[in-house]
Amino acid sequence: MHSRRDFLQKVSLGLGAAALSAFPAIANELTSNRQDKQLRVAIMGLGGYANIVAKGMQECKMAKIVGVISGTPSKIETWKKQYDIPDKNTYNYETVSQIKNNPDIDLVYVITPNSLHHKHVLQIAAAGKHVICEKPVADNAKQAREMIAACEKANVKFYIGYRLHFEPHTLELIRMREAGEFGKIMHVNNYAGFKIGDPTQWRLKKSLAGGGAMMDVGVYSLNGARYCTGEEPIWVTAQESKTDPVKFKEVDETITFQLGFPSGIIANCGCTYNFNHVEGLKLMGEKGWAEVNPAFGYGPIRGTTHKGKLEAPDVNHQANQMDGIADCILNNKPDPNVTGHEGLKDMVVIDAVYESIRKNGAKIFINK
């Protein structure tokens, strides 16, 4: 068995140019001539997933939490104590613009509700800091384009939290597909979902979430179909079902959608907020197949192919992601496929999914 480092180096080489973004490498003054070689990160939005990220980052070698941004003073106090954050690195949503004057923060990780991503990324870009934003990148493709443009104008890097693009089992699946080990890809089935709890939470409010299951877990099914095929969809059909119109009054409950690709591949995908035990990826090719389940959670990821068990090391997803991004920024390396442009590609398809639903399942040809 190879070491984890050997494995990741092999996978990185195997991905080739297709997995690298066209987003330009930047030697930003924030991180040039640094001696400590650690990316200094502030977390914006201190909710449930922020706590998972922070816990995971305790395993990071190249990134560390040094600041927080929150509208809740009690949360700031808790995080200050837990992560030894100095007062000068704490901000609220009214003072966040002042972060531009703080040389001790390199990057801000935006983990606020979906519909606030657009506003907050624009603020961080204007402050001259690199930014990583949780997915979905925004409410729609128009906002995503504006966010990309703002970061390019400010000469800062813009990443999306696609942690699976750093996850070894997922990367091995992509390597096998790129190496032709499955042969011509014929079909893909991807599903993601869970039974959502508290009916008063922000994920069920359209003004904060932008949508329901499609925006939250549907992006996993969609992004998975794209990396299973190595192609971009050219059309979409979609259907929505709603069994609880009270709880899901404002957002979608369950959506199934089909993606058509240039080679003729069709991917059947689905997402839900109303039942558990629905997570999996299946790829079928002329020469072989792969089935990954769990495929999209925080780990461990498990899979099988026509060759046997999908062999790869288990890692802390959040730590692996942040170390990978830190390596790109600190060492001026090419960006992996997690930039704002990757988020935009998913958002264009999500827009088409919702358009198809509005048009009673009509086939929508995707306008890039």
Q: Are residues 41 and 104 located together in one domain of the fold?
A: yes
The total number of structural domains in the chain stands at 2
Q: Are residues 144 and 186 located together in one domain of the fold?
A: no
Q: Are residues 115 and 190 located together in one domain of the fold?
A: no
CATH of the domain at 50: 3.40.50.720
pLDDT of residue 368: 67
Would 247 be classed as within a structural domain?
Answer: yes
- β 130-133/158-160 pair status: parallel
Of 100, 129, 163, which marks where a domain is finished? 163
The span from the CA of 159 to the CA of 106, in Å, is 13
pTM: predicted TM-score of the whole model, two decimal places: 0.90
Q: Are residues 180 and 268 located together in one domain of the fold?
A: yes
| Contacts for 84 with CB less than 8 Å, ≥ 6 apart | none
Q: Are residues 112 and 232 located together in one domain of the fold?
A: no
Would 326 be classed as within a structural domain?
Answer: no
Residue 300: asked if its preceding bond is cis (omega within 30°), the reply is yes
Q: Which domain holds residue 150?
A: 17-163
Q: Are residues 53 and 108 located together in one domain of the fold?
A: yes
pLDDT of residue 367: 79
The span from the CA of 229 to the CA of 206, in Å, is 31
Would 29 be classed as within a structural domain?
Answer: yes
Ranges in the chain, pLDDT < 50 = 1-34
Would 273 be classed as within a structural domain?
Answer: yes
Q: Spell out where the chain has E strands.
A: 39-44, 63-69, 90-91, 107-110, 130-133, 158-160, 185-193, 235-241, 254-260, 266-272, 278-285, 289-292, 303-305, 308-309, 364-365
The span from the CA of 350 to the CA of 259, in Å, is 11
pLDDT of residue 35: 53
| Contacts for 302 with CB less than 8 Å, ≥ 6 apart | 169, 292, 293, 294, 310
Of 114, 143, 163, which marks where a domain is finished? 163
